[in-house]
A and B are shown apart, each in its own frame.
Chain A
Amino acid sequence: MAESICRTLRDGSLEGEHAPALTIKDTAASPFGFDVFAYVLSQLSSFILAGKSQSRVVVVVAFTRSPSFYVDLLKRRGLDVTSFHKWIQILDCYTDPLGWKGKLVESGNAMCISDEASSVTHLCKDVRDLDNLYSLILELGKGLAGQGKAHFSVAIDSVNEMLRHASLSRVAGLLSNLRSHDQISCIYWLLHSDLHEVRVTSSVEYMSSMVANVEPLNPSASGQRWDSENVSLLKQNFQKGKLNVRFKRRNGRVRLMCEEFHIEQSGINFTPVSSEDGTINQGLLPKVQFSLQLSEKEQTERAKVLLPFEHQGNGKPIQIYDGRRSLEDNKNEATLASTGNLQRNEASGEGEIIYFRDSDDERPDSDEDPDDDLDI
C-alpha cells in the first residue's frame, strides 16, 4: 500500500489536472513520518532513474536535514551518485534559512556540505519570502527538466518549518500554486500534526489528494503511566507502527488503506495488517435493538422457570414426566404422574392435559423441517 502511494505519485497528473499531493502526517506518539518521507523519496528517485515515472527531476526542499544527508540517504539506497546532478536538485533551507550567517562578521566558510552534495544544492537565504521560494523551486526544476513539457516533482521536507516563518494562507497558497503548475507532476510533504492547531492540519490535508497517517500500533498505551504491561506495548511503538492512508480518488470516493511498518537499520519495511481489528465481522444477524441470543445466565434462569402446566396449583412440585429425569426415577414418577392425572381427571371431569416439557437439547431453529413430515 505504500507501494500504491508511490505508484500514484509516479504516475503523476493528467493534462489539466492538479498534481497529486501527498501529506505524510505523524505525531509524537509515532514519530516515524520522516522515515516514510525518506522511503517515498528513495522510491520515486529510483523510478526516475529507471525512467518509469512521469517526472524526470526531483526538487527537494530541505528544511530539517542538510543536503548531504539526502545525498547519503540516496547513496545508501544504491542510487548512483555520479548521475545526481542530472535528476536531483536540493534547495537548502536548512543551513541558513533566515540569512543570519551571512550577517555574521566571521562567517568564513559557512557551508559544511560535502562535495557531492554541493553540486546539486542551492542555498536559500530567506524562507520567509514564499514567493521567492516558489520561484526558486520552479527555477531549479525547470533548469534541469527543461522548459517544455518535461515534468518534475517536489518533495518538501517539513511544512512545519514553513509554517514557522509564514502564515497558513501563504503556505497554503504556495502549495496550491505548486500543485496547479503544469510542469509539476507530483508533490509530497511531511507534517507533524501535533505541532499545530487542528485547523492548520486540516487545511494542509484539504490541499492534498492523499493523506498518510503514521499512527502507533497501540494507541492506548501511549498516554498512560509506565506499568509493566504498558512498557512492552510502548516498546512495540518504538519500532513499529501503522500507516493509514486516505486516497481521494478522481470519482470522489475515498479509499482507505492500512499497513503496518517496522523500522530497521536499513530503513522501513511495510507489511500488510496482521490483526483484524479494523473490520469486525458483525455476523449475519442484522443490527437490531433487541437481542436475539440468550446469555449463559439467562439460559440457566430459563431452565429454572416453572411452567404453568408443571404444577398443580397447590404448591406441589412437578409430577409429570419430563425427558430429563433418569430412568430409575421415571418409574416412580410415572406412577405418581398417572395417579396425579387420574386425580385431576376425577376432579375436573374434562380432558387431560398431558404435558411434556420440550427437551433442552433442542435448539430453536433446528435442522429438522417439520414440514418434511407432510406428505402432500
Chain B
Amino acid sequence: MLPTGNCTFRATGIVKPSERERVSLVDALMSATKGRTSSFTRNVLSASSSQTPGIKCGPNGTFFVSSGISDLDKILGGGIPLGSLVMVMEDAEAPHHMLLLRNFMSQGLVQDQPLLYASPSKDPRGFLGTLPCPSSKDDKLRNHDPEQEKGLRIAWQYKKYFGENQQSFDGHRGSKQEFCNDFDLRKPLERHFFSGQRVDCVSVKDSPNLVALQDRCTTFLAQFRRNDGSISSVGRIAIQSLCAPQCTHSNMEWDVLSFISYLKSMLWSANAVAVVTFPPSLLSESFCKRWQHMADILLSVRAILDDDKELAKLLTGYQDMVGFLNVHKVARTNTQVPLILEATTFSIKLQKRRFLVLECLNQAPIDGSSGASYGTSGSCSGSSKTGTLEF
C-alpha cells in the first residue's frame, strides 16, 4: 500500500514524507530514473498516433493522454489513463498545483481536446490567458551544452543524464503532433486555442451547491461516451481548488464527496480525464482521507523554504527547485499488478524559468572534512524527523 500524504500512522520500513518541509531521503536515494520501458512491451506508438493525436496506447488495453509534463508522464507509466481521476493535494503556501493544471490544460488545447475548467474565481476565463504555449524546438535545449573537453569527463550523479538520451530517441519520430509538448511557461498560449467553443468555464464561487457544476460535467462528458468503436475525441476536465474556503460548498462535505464519486463514475464510461486540485489542510482529516481514496492518481505538491541551509547541504540543485511533488498513487487499469515506483518524491524545477521539469532527488556529497565516506553516511543519514528508519 502506498503511503498517503496526510495520515498519521508510521509504518516501519516505508518512509513517507513528513508534515514539515523536510523530505524523506531514503526512497530518493534508492531511486534511479528509469528511462526505458521493459523490452517486452509492444511498440504500438506509431500505429495509434495516426488515429488521434494526443492518445497513446498503453499496456492492458488502456489509452493514455498526456499530462502536459513529460517527466510526469514517464513517472505515471506513460500518461494519464483514459477515464481516470487525478487528484492533486495543494499546499496552502505554494501555487505549484497551478503549474500542473496549466500544463494539463494547455496540452489538451494544443491537441484539440475540449476542456471544461471550473474554478472558485469570479472570472475563470481570465486564467486561460496564463496558459503556457508549446515551445518551438529551437529554444528548447534540453541537453547540457556539450563542452567537448579533450580530457576526462566525469558524470557526477550520472543517472540524471539517462533521460536525455531518451529524448533524442523520441525526437526522430517526426510526427507533427507530439504526445506531450514542452511548454514554455513564459509565453502565453495563442488565443485561437481557447477562444472557440472548445473551452467551457464554470465558476463555483457563488453557486450554493455543486449541482450546477455537476450538470455542466454531465453535459460535457456526454460528448465522449465510450463505445467499442474507435476513440473520436477525448475530453479534459480541470477543477481548480475544489473546496476552497470562499466557496459555499466548502462546508458541505458529504455533498462534495458525492459529487466526486459521481464524477468518477461518469469518467469511467467516458473517454475523458479529470484533474481536481484541493487544499487538504483546510479539510477535516476523515474527509481528506476519503478524498484521497477516491483518486485514481494521487499527487501532492509541497512548498520548500527559501534559504534553507540544511536542505541546500543535503540536496544538489536546491537553488533551482521550487517545490516537491509526491506521487502517492498511480492508476493501473485492467490489471492487478500495481505499479511500484522507485521514487515517490520529485523536485519541481523551472529550467531557465520557463520549462517545468521534475527530477529525482539527488543527495549532495557530505562535507569531506568530516571524514565520513559518501556511501556510508548516505545510507544511514536521513532527516531526523522521520525517526523510524530501520536498517
Task: Name B's A-contacting residues (CB within 8 A).
Answer: 21, 92-96, 99, 120-122, 126, 129-130, 205, 244-248, 250-251, 279, 281-284, 303-307, 309-310, 322-323, 348, 350, 366-367, 369-372, 376-377, 380-382, 384, 389, 391
Contacts and interface: CB of A to CB of B under 8 A. Distances in A.
Nearest to A247: B306
Given A169-B248, A284-B369, A249 B306 contact: yes
A254 interface: yes
Nearest to B284: A199
Given A207-B245, A284-B369, A202 B92 contact: yes
A175 B282 contact: no
Given A199-B284, A203-B245, A169 B250 contact: yes
A109 interface: no
B351 to A, nearest CB: 13
A286 B370 contact: yes
B92 A284 contact: no
A365 B284 contact: no
A167 interface: yes
Contact of A253 (B305, B369, B376, B382): B305
Contact of A169 (B99, B122, B245): B245
Contact of A255 (B247, B307, B372, B382): B307
Interface string A7-43: 0000000001000000000000000000000000000
Contacts of A287: 381-382, 384
Contacts of B99: 252
Nearest to B98: A252
Contact of B95 (A172, A247, A252, A284): A252
A161 interface: no
A173 interface: yes
Contacts of B246: 169, 172-173, 175-177, 207
Among all A-B residue pairs, the 4 with the closest Cβ atoms: A203-B245, A172-B245, A173-B246, A172-B246
B303 to A, nearest CB: 5
B279 A206 contact: yes
A256 interface: yes
A253 B309 CA distance: 14
Contacts of A135: none
Contacts of B369: 284
B69 to A, nearest CB: 15
Contacts of A256: 305-306
B282 A203 contact: yes
Most buried by A among B130, B245, B279, B281: B245
Given A169-B247, A254-B304, A289-B391, 18 more contacts: A169-B250, A172-B245, A172-B246, A173-B247, A176-B121, A176-B246, A177-B122, A199-B282, A207-B245, A249-B306, A251-B350, A253-B304, A253-B305, A253-B323, A255-B305, A286-B367, A286-B381, A290-B380
A285 interface: yes
Contact of B380 (A246, A254, A288): A288
Interface in A236-279: 246-249, 251-256, 279
A249 B303 CA distance: 10
Point out which of A248, A253, A285 has the most chain B C-beta atoms below 10 A from its C-beta.
Answer: A253
A180 interface: yes
A253 B205 CA distance: 27
Interface string A280-294: 001011111110000
Contacts of A16: 126, 129-130
B174 to A, nearest CB: 36
B94 A252 contact: yes
A279 B313 CA distance: 14
